Structure 1
């Protein structure tokens, strides 16, 4: 469902994109950046939830997010996740388009990377897929599918076919976490999920900064933080 809405939204976005002026396309991207920033703040502020502070202590939640971002960022930088993701986007551009100049390739890569981050970094990506795998229903993923469909229209109108290519990342990432949920069962306590969501929200702020052309944050290199955050919560729970 999510892959389908991204693909359909991307096609619609590309079809109407040529009818929009460059100024209008930039405004659409800015609007998406502002909305992403709003969603990011709402997710990041869950770091103050009582379920997390009760599990690790009142002063620990911020330190958990900080530690997750630092450890995850260093790990992602060493693994060159951002560079590899951009390289994959460039390969797709060469594979499916025989024409194009450097500007078109950069636009394709930016659309692919930006859309992949927006569609795959948010808490709904991981929580929805895990819930689906655990047999709790796909309500969260269906909601995310609708949101991504509308977002992909606006993204594709501004950034082109690279947005459609991000459907591959959605398929792999959400499919992976659905499989993990099915194999492991219900293993993540509420505190661990809250830390994961707060860390993901902070990373989405980085995505918003990219969309608003304020700072090109290497958000992909921070992805390992989503694994580190629940691990740090578990470590503090054990130590307490």
Structure 2
């Protein structure tokens, strides 16, 4: 079953979010310090991922093209509207901004990364779900902590996680017919590097050092495939 690992991952996020609800009453200063710690860890993860690149020009062009597309279609604004709409359906308060923030932040943290791609590929290509199950355990603990600071809207991140990883897993059952393994491995490396920089941006946003419109950079996750293909041609 190609989707088994993705389902386990989603259940871990839900479980972590549910447990996190019971810790939302801790003093604000504890939450702030914990979030700072998480932010620093997120930045470190992003740095490690970004170093996976073998061609900085691929990463740069992917981010540039992704940013242009994201800004043109106002992607982050659309994501915020979606988060606010979801928030209006599940809460009676007016604090829809925090709902959108929790949804978007958690989605980016859980979706972007090597484990998502490699784990989903393993599930689809080899029926091996170990990577996604391991990722699920990690995501569950992260969801717990994020829920204590960003609210229960973190649980909504299971929607993009299931769609993203599930799609990759299902496509992976056929991907070896389209892309040679050597090219696929190189593409995963560049995708990991681009994702790492977006993860770093999330960490910086959480620390409130700068406010990067990460949502508008998300198309880079797609354009990296096109850029990498053109790069190989030359």
- Asked if Structure 1 and Structure 2 have the same fold, meaning a TM-score greater than 0.5 normalized by the shorter chain, the answer is yes
2:123 aligns with one of 129, 132, 136: 132
CA distance in 1, matches of 2:127, 2:59: 27
For the pair 1:184 / 2:178, whether they are aligned, the reply is no
Q: Identify if the C-alpha distance between structure 1 residues 28 and 126 changes in structure 2 by more than 3 Å, giving closer, same or farther.
A: same
CA distance in 2, matches of 1:17, 1:8: 15
Measured after TM superposition, the shift of residue 183 of structure 1 is 3.1
For the pair 1:35 / 2:54, whether they are aligned, the reply is no
Are 1:81 and 1:220, in contact at CA under 8 Å, matched by a contact in 2? yes
How does 1:217-236 map onto structure 2 within 5 Å?
217-236=212-231
Name the stretch that deviates more: 194-203 or 104-113. 104-113
2:133 aligns with one of 136, 139, 142: 142
Measured after TM superposition, the shift of residue 122 of structure 1 is 1.5
**TM-score normalised by length of structure 2:** 0.90
Cross-structure match for 1:175 = 166
Are 2:117 and 2:188, in contact at CA under 8 Å, matched by a contact in 1? no
Aligned residues: 223
CA distance in 2, matches of 1:157, 1:193: 33
1:170-198 deviation line (CA, Å, top 9, x unaligned) = 11111121122123236252211111111
Measured after TM superposition, the shift of residue 130 of structure 1 is 2.1
Question: Secondary structure of the equivalent of 1:16?
Answer: coil
Measured after TM superposition, the shift of residue 144 of structure 1 is 1.0
CA distance in 2, matches of 1:26, 1:169: 27
Question: Secondary structure of the equivalent of 2:23?
Answer: helix
Cross-structure match for 1:166 = 157
Unaligned runs of 5+ in 2: 1-7
CA distance in 2, matches of 1:178, 1:81: 25
CA distance in 2, matches of 1:79, 1:131: 33
1:44 aligns with one of 46, 50, 70: 50
For the pair 1:7 / 2:14, whether they are aligned, the reply is yes
Cross-structure match for 2:4 = none
Are 1:9 and 1:153, in contact at CA under 8 Å, matched by a contact in 2? yes
Unaligned runs of 5+ in 1: 53-60
Are 1:9 and 1:150, in contact at CA under 8 Å, matched by a contact in 2? yes
Are 1:82 and 1:219, in contact at CA under 8 Å, matched by a contact in 2? yes
Cross-structure match for 2:3 = none
Cross-structure match for 1:56 = none
Cα root mean square deviation, aligned: 1.4
CA distance in 1, matches of 2:184, 2:159: 30
Are 1:193 and 1:230, in contact at CA under 8 Å, matched by a contact in 2? no
CA distance in 1, matches of 2:127, 2:232: 26
Are 1:13 and 1:153, in contact at CA under 8 Å, matched by a contact in 2? yes
For the pair 1:215 / 2:202, whether they are aligned, the reply is no
Measured after TM superposition, the shift of residue 136 of structure 1 is 4.8
Cross-structure match for 1:88 = 82
CA distance in 1, matches of 2:140, 2:132: 12
**TM-score normalised by length of structure 1:** 0.88
